[in-house]
Chains A and B, each alone.
Chain A
């Protein structure tokens, strides 16, 4: 079928090759779709001259394919005619020797034909790879683009993180400290109520410390360095308002990967608690030879926005480590956050 299409487009290709520009580009795009579908060859869109050269060469391959197909139909037609005659009326003067000979020759021809088809397909794939494979410069350029994007992403993520810490400090800790100072100030001005106000101030000081510990933990969980990833993740599970089932395999990962996994899980769990309305969260962290896989799933209402603050920050962190990141969160749920982080 692919060969047939290839043959069908061969002549137009040849014509199009003669008039480069958008038409040639379009034709190449069409061919790329075809070879991806039938031959499973990924390719890059070539530019100008390369596109024309590709079309010219592959038109020849297409014609060759057509030639092979014509022989296939021709052979098939004769085989059918002979078989029909054999069944309906014995051929005059048929001799078993000749029949056997015909069958053997037919089989050999069929074999050659099949080889021809495979050969043309292989040739088509080779031509595509030769002309359409991204050049080394293009591969490097793509990699540079990717690195620039992930570098800008990590800078943005750091800024977002700092903004969050500032807010945690100013809106949480500072407010509590001011309130605490206010209680002490009032106690100083009203000796008759001092006992009660000092007791309140004392309670407030305990809450400030709690807040501060909370903020420090969010900035960087010290347990990550001292007790390891699994223990730090257990702490995340313990602190979550929604029950978290945690499965964390045993593996060795570089510290940067461990930290990324920690923040990924922590942020995904926070998001789920805040927005999903879930009743349970499942966290799986498994290590393999090629890297660490993380999966956080909840049974909530879904509809999480992958471009939202928290999730895009996670994605940047993962991309900066050359990992893969995906969020699936259809309306109605569930939400699944998945990431793969290479260790190497």
Chain B
């Protein structure tokens, strides 16, 4: 995949570029601020943008705003936002319209290189990737009743919210794919989420349900 990277720490930026190149991705540009990111996206039209939230000049949420702008101006471009701390608001902003090719991860996740690359791939392929911490907080705060679910169903729900596919959930929970599908049907019945077709619709429905 063609990936553009925006990260103001030179050290981390270099590290990420090396990692991506080693894994066979192409990195046409790696920049240090949001303005440069927008220019680079315009020039290179990458598959995925990976951006830090906090960048110069104000070190507040430049990266997040740039990500939203990219989603609006370049609909085909997937966006993976890395944040120093969990801010649910950001995750919510990102999925205002759809959950196609969006991700929001804590920066720390980068350290689990395999999972980070997996999330990047999911996002790049039009899927979603939400940080387990974000999902955990959504689950904890959700005003909708979740106690109708069994513990296992809650696990599956959390994984769905993180953006995992059925295969991925099965592998992570060490159960069969059909067992996962059974859990999912049961969850959707219990939460009265119906008419949800397709992976992205599912992620969106679950996230919306949780933050309602």
Q: Given A171-B9, A174-B84, A179-B12 in contact, is the A186-B59 Cβ separation under 8 Å? A: no
Main secondary structure of the interface of B (DSSP, over half): helix
Min CB distance B161 to A, Å, is 24
Which of chain A's residues have a CB closer than 8 A to the CB of B54?
170-171
Interface 0/1 of A135-174, CB less than 8 Å to B: 0000000000000000000000000000000010011001
Q: Given A175-B9, A188-B113 in contact, is the A183-B107 Cβ separation under 8 Å? A: no
Which of chain B's residues have a CB closer than 8 A to the CB of A178?
12, 15, 107-108, 110-111
Q: What are 30 A-B pairs at a CB distance below 8 A?
A: A167-B59, A170-B54, A170-B85, A171-B8, A171-B9, A171-B59, A174-B108, A175-B9, A175-B11, A176-B11, A178-B12, A178-B15, A178-B108, A178-B110, A178-B111, A179-B9, A179-B11, A181-B111, A182-B12, A182-B113, A183-B15, A185-B110, A185-B111, A185-B112, A186-B15, A186-B19, A186-B22, A189-B22, A189-B23, A190-B22
Which of chain A's residues have a CB closer than 8 A to the CB of B11?
175-176, 179
Residues from 199 to 215 in A contacting B, C-beta threshold 8 Å: none
Which of chain B's residues have a CB closer than 8 A to the CB of A186?
15, 18-19, 22, 113
Q: Given A174-B107, A190-B22 in contact, is the A185-B12 Cβ separation under 8 Å? A: no
Measured in the bound complex, the distance between the Cα atoms of B18 and A128 in whole Å is 79
Measured in the bound complex, the distance between the Cα atoms of B9 and A176 in whole Å is 9
- B1: Cβ under 8 A from any A Cβ: no
CB distance A182 to B111 under 8 Å?
A: yes
Min CB distance B8 to A, Å, is 8
Main secondary structure of the interface of A (DSSP, over half): helix
Interface 0/1 of B94-123, CB less than 8 Å to A: 000000000000011011111000000000
Residues of A near any B CB (own CB < 8 A): 167, 170-171, 174-179, 181-186, 188-190
Inter-chain contact total with CB atoms closer than 8 Å: 55
Which of chain A's residues have a CB closer than 8 A to the CB of B22?
186, 189-190
CB distance B113 to A170 under 8 Å?
A: no
CB distance A185 to B113 under 8 Å?
A: yes
Measured in the bound complex, the distance between the Cα atoms of B83 and A178 in whole Å is 12
Which of chain A's residues have a CB closer than 8 A to the CB of B112?
185
Give 4 nearest A-B pairs by CB, closest first.
A181-B111, A185-B113, A175-B9, A182-B15
CB distance B84 to A170 under 8 Å?
A: yes
- B16: Cβ under 8 A from any A Cβ: yes
Q: B14 — nearest CB in chain A belongs to which residue?
A: A179
Given contacts A178-B15, A182-B113, 15 further A-B contacts (CB under 8 A): A167-B59, A170-B84, A171-B8, A175-B9, A178-B108, A178-B110, A179-B9, A179-B15, A181-B110, A182-B16, A182-B19, A182-B110, A183-B15, A188-B113, A189-B22
Measured in the bound complex, the distance between the Cα atoms of B114 and A178 in whole Å is 14
Q: A176 — nearest CB in chain B belongs to which residue?
A: B11
Which of chain B's residues have a CB closer than 8 A to the CB of A177?
111
Q: A200 — nearest CB in chain B belongs to which residue?
A: B15
Q: A190 — nearest CB in chain B belongs to which residue?
A: B22
Residue of A171, A178, A183 with highest tally of chain B CB at under 10 A: A178
Min CB distance B51 to A, Å, is 15
Which of chain A's residues have a CB closer than 8 A to the CB of B23?
189
Measured in the bound complex, the distance between the Cα atoms of B112 and A185 in whole Å is 7
Q: A169 — nearest CB in chain B belongs to which residue?
A: B84
Measured in the bound complex, the distance between the Cα atoms of B107 and A185 in whole Å is 14
Measured in the bound complex, the distance between the Cα atoms of B116 and A186 in whole Å is 12
Min CB distance B46 to A, Å, is 20
Measured in the bound complex, the distance between the Cα atoms of B58 and A171 in whole Å is 13
Min CB distance B144 to A, Å, is 33
Measured in the bound complex, the distance between the Cα atoms of B85 and A171 in whole Å is 12
Q: B108 — nearest CB in chain A belongs to which residue?
A: A178
Which of chain B's residues have a CB closer than 8 A to the CB of A175?
9, 11-12
Measured in the bound complex, the distance between the Cα atoms of B18 and A267 in whole Å is 38
Which of chain A's residues have a CB closer than 8 A to the CB of B8?
171
Measured in the bound complex, the distance between the Cα atoms of B172 and A255 in whole Å is 56
Which of chain A's residues have a CB closer than 8 A to the CB of B114?
185, 189
Q: B84 — nearest CB in chain A belongs to which residue?
A: A170
Measured in the bound complex, the distance between the Cα atoms of B85 and A190 in whole Å is 29
Which of chain B's residues have a CB closer than 8 A to the CB of A171?
8-9, 54, 59
Residues from 26 to 67 in B contacting A, C-beta threshold 8 Å: 54, 59
Which of chain B's residues have a CB closer than 8 A to the CB of A183?
15
Measured in the bound complex, the distance between the Cα atoms of B113 and A181 in whole Å is 8
Min CB distance B192 to A, Å, is 41
Which of chain B's residues have a CB closer than 8 A to the CB of A184?
111
Measured in the bound complex, the distance between the Cα atoms of B8 and A184 in whole Å is 21
Q: A197 — nearest CB in chain B belongs to which residue?
A: B18
Measured in the bound complex, the distance between the Cα atoms of B12 and A179 in whole Å is 5
Which of chain A's residues have a CB closer than 8 A to the CB of B19?
182, 185-186
Residue of B23, B111, B112 with highest tally of chain A CB at under 10 A: B111
Measured in the bound complex, the distance between the Cα atoms of B11 and A176 in whole Å is 7
Measured in the bound complex, the distance between the Cα atoms of B84 and A140 in whole Å is 48
